[in-house]
């Protein structure tokens, strides 16, 4: 009897111990398997969302953001130029660079005598917006192309003088031809924008004019070459008999070499032995005798960054 009681007591103790052991093992499980993971994942998602919002703000156009236009607008021309030089840029990139350059030069003035043969047009003095000469004609000279297009044209007085110049050269066994004359402001904008896309605005500005600043728009300038077109509008033209004849005789017909060698820091453009500009015989001979450019004649030398090209 006593033995049976001891056995029963031992059995009761064992059952109580087992029950406690099972309850203690279940406590950690609810604590790891309930809502604890959910709150911990929400905070990790929230910073991610905030970061995405910041990224979107950084890519918002500066006009929408408003606060700092200067730092955000200055890189645009550079990135546009890089894209375009690889052949992948959009036309708007070049146009933006042109606009930035135009707006940056507060010293630009509108020339007061656009119709005069002696008008000064350069980086500081531009033609009136949309200027078109009213006396453009086709000079009767050979051209290196056959199409009858605007770039054949010159103003009447300049065209007549060019005909005499070409005829005079022919007497000396020099055969000249026209390459490019009148150019509209819209056409100049297209050309300059493309040059900016290709070479960047600093380089393009050394050999091409911004729209409104081109002598070709005056209808008083013509690029010339030999009738074979070799070295047309290229530096090698300076080594030809045609270039030599022009340098010695152009003034007698009222023309000057507008961008002479050694004057790049004054004119703002590289040497162009093919680019002749009609100014009338009196002024042309005066400039030939003095060796001055139009800028020096008017006392309006153009400040240029850097030295000769």
Cα–Cα distance, 151 to 187 (Å, whole number)? 10
Cα–Cα distance, 247 to 156 (Å, whole number)? 23
- Torsion angles phi and psi, residue 261, rounded to 5: -70, 140
Q: Please, are residues 94 and 71 in contact by the beta-carbon 8 Å criterion?
A: no
Q: Classify 216 as helix, strand or coil.
A: helix
Q: Please, are residues 269 and 108 in contact by the beta-carbon 8 Å criterion?
A: no
Q: Please, are residues 193 and 98 in contact by the beta-carbon 8 Å criterion?
A: yes
Q: CB burial class (10 A; 0-12, 13-18, 19+) of residue 85? A: middle
Q: Active-site residue numbers?
A: 272
Cα–Cα distance, 115 to 92 (Å, whole number)? 32
Q: Classify 276 as helix, strand or coil.
A: strand
Residues 6+ apart with CB under 8 A from 28: none
Cα–Cα distance, 115 to 113 (Å, whole number)? 6
In what helix (H) or strand (E) does residue 163 lie, and over which residues does it extend? helix 156-171
Secondary structure letter of residue 209 according to DSSP: P
Cα–Cα distance, 187 to 130 (Å, whole number)? 11
Calculate the alpha carbon distances from 78 to 61, 97, 287 in Å. 17, 8, 39
Tokens found for residue 58: 């950084």
Cα–Cα distance, 258 to 118 (Å, whole number)? 12
């Amino acid at each position: 009897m006593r033995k049976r009681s001891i056995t029963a007591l031992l059995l009761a103790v064992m059952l109580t111990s087992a029950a406690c052991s099972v309850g203690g093992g279940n406590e950690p499980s609810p604590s790891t398997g309930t809502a604890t993971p959910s709150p911990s994942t929400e905070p990790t998602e929230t910073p991610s969302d905030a970061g995405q919002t910041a990224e979107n703000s950084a890519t918002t156009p500066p006009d929408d953001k408003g606060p700092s236009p200067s730092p955000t607008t200055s890189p645009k021309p550079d990135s546009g130029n890089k894209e375009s030089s690889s052949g992948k840029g959009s036309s708007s990139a070049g146009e933006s660079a042109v606009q930035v350059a135009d707006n940056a030069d507060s010293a630009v003035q509108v020339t007061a005598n656009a119709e005069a043969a002696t008008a000064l047009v350069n980086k500081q003095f531009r033609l009136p917006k949309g200027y078109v000469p009213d006396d453009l004609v086709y000079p009767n000279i050979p051209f290196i192309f056959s199409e009858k297009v605007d770039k054949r044209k010159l103003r009447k007085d300049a065209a007549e003088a060019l005909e005499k110049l070409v005829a005079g050269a022919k007497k000396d066994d020099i055969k000249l031809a026209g390459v490019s004359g009148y150019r509209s402001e819209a056409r100049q904008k297209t050309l300059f924008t493309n040059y900016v896309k290709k070479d960047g605005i600093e380089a393009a500005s050394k050999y091409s004019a911004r729209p409104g600043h081109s002598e070709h728009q005056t209808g008083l300038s013509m690029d010339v070459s030999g009738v074979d077109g070799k070295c047309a509008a290229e530096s090698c033209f300076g080594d030809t008999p045609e270039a030599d004849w022009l340098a010695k005789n152009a003034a007698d017909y009222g023309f000057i070499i507008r961008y002479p060698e050694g004057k790049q820091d004054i004119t703002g453009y590289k040497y162009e032995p093919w680019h002749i500009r009609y100014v009338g015989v009196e002024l042309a001979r005066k400039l030939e005798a003095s060796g001055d450019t139009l800028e020096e004649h008017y006392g309006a030398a153009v400040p240029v960054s850097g030295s000769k090209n």
